[in-house]
Amino acid sequence: MAQQEWLYGLHAMQAVIENEPERLIEIWVLKGRDDERLINIVNQARRFGVSVQFCNRKVLDDKVKGEQHQGIVARAKPAKTLDESDLDRLLDTTPVPLLLVLDGVTDPHNIGACLRTADAAGAHALIVPKDKSGGLTGTARKVACGAAEVVPFIQVTNLSRTLKQLQDKGVWVIGTAGEAEQLIYDCKLSGPMALVMGAEGKGMRRLTRETCDELVKLPMAGSVSSLNVSVATGVCLYEIVRQRGL
């Protein structure tokens, strides 16, 4: 397990300050930048005893290898890894869960965007397999705009087994696939639900697809064959929100 993580971006940093300030070790801030949000983060960090250094842009760029850091970078202790036991506890305390499952999605930008949408739609957790999937990198956290600190990100050893366990607890598992015959708009999506999204191009893996209770698709009227996974996730989650009347 990594001994430290690099965090960057104003939203991600503010979320860590508000939810997990004990993780922060040291912060580097762009010298001469007069930004109210940035100053507020610096002041909060100092109140928690975090070391703050002011530096030029090249120092920040070098620390995050050119990623868009928005003038602030932090070295932090790694976040706690959530697993199957955390999922069990969540299900025991959530009467009508809405879970987002990503199968084989590796791009941190997509993972961050899916986290942000999951938070906005009221999803209770995002589930990914430990292997052949992206994790909560600094890029994913930045794109998530703070959602990575509030939406549980649960990594499971065997995704198909986890889906079967969800089914045993009364969760309906709905998978998205281009070859599905039914549109998502024609399905009842108001109960305990796990929405499974596959990687772009490949889609869900075979075992994942076979485990789903139902397969659905989005209508594609144009020339492109599929949507970006984070865009498709947003469309599907908000159809669930619409049906739930939230």
Q: In what order do the strands lie in the sheet with 24-30?
A: 5-8, 72-76, 24-30, 51-55
Q: Which residues pair with 173 in a beta bridge?
A: 194
Q: Per the structure block, which two tokens stand in for 14? A: 């503010």
Q: What is the pTM of this model?
A: 0.89
Determine the pLDDT at residue 33.
83
- Domain locations along the chain: 5-76, 84-244
Q: Which residue has the tokens 């070391």?
A: 51
The 3-class SS string of the chain reads CCCCEEEECHHHHHHHHHHCHHHEEEEEEECCCCCHHHHHHHHHHHHCCCEEEEECHHHHHHHCCCCCCCCEEEEECCCCCECHHHHHHHHHHCCCCEEEEEECCCCHHHHHHHHHHHHHHCCCEEEEECCCCCCCCHHHHHHHCCHHHCCCEEEECCHHHHHHHHHHCCCEEEEECCCCCEEHHHCCCCCCEEEEEEECCCECCHHHHHHCCEEEECCCCCCCCCCCHHHHHHHHHHHHHHHHCC
Per-10-residue mean pLDDT of the chain, 246 residues long, equals 80 91 94 88 94 93 87 91 94 95 95 97 97 89 92 96 97 93 93 93 91 93 81 96 86
Q: Which residue has the tokens 């989650």?
A: 237
Determine the pLDDT at residue 1.
46
Determine the pLDDT at residue 35.
85
Determine the pLDDT at residue 79.
85
| Spatial distance between the Cα atoms of 47 and 55, rounded to a whole number of angstroms | 20
- Are the CB atoms for 133 and 100 separated by under 8 Å? no
Which CATH class for the 84-244 domain?
A: alpha beta
Nearest Cα neighbor of 74 from 141, 29, 20 is 29
Determine the pLDDT at residue 245.
83
**Within 10 A of 113 (CB to CB), how many other CB atoms are there?**
22
- The architecture in CATH of the region 5-76 reads 2-Layer Sandwich (3.30)
Q: Which residue has the tokens 């999204």?
A: 197
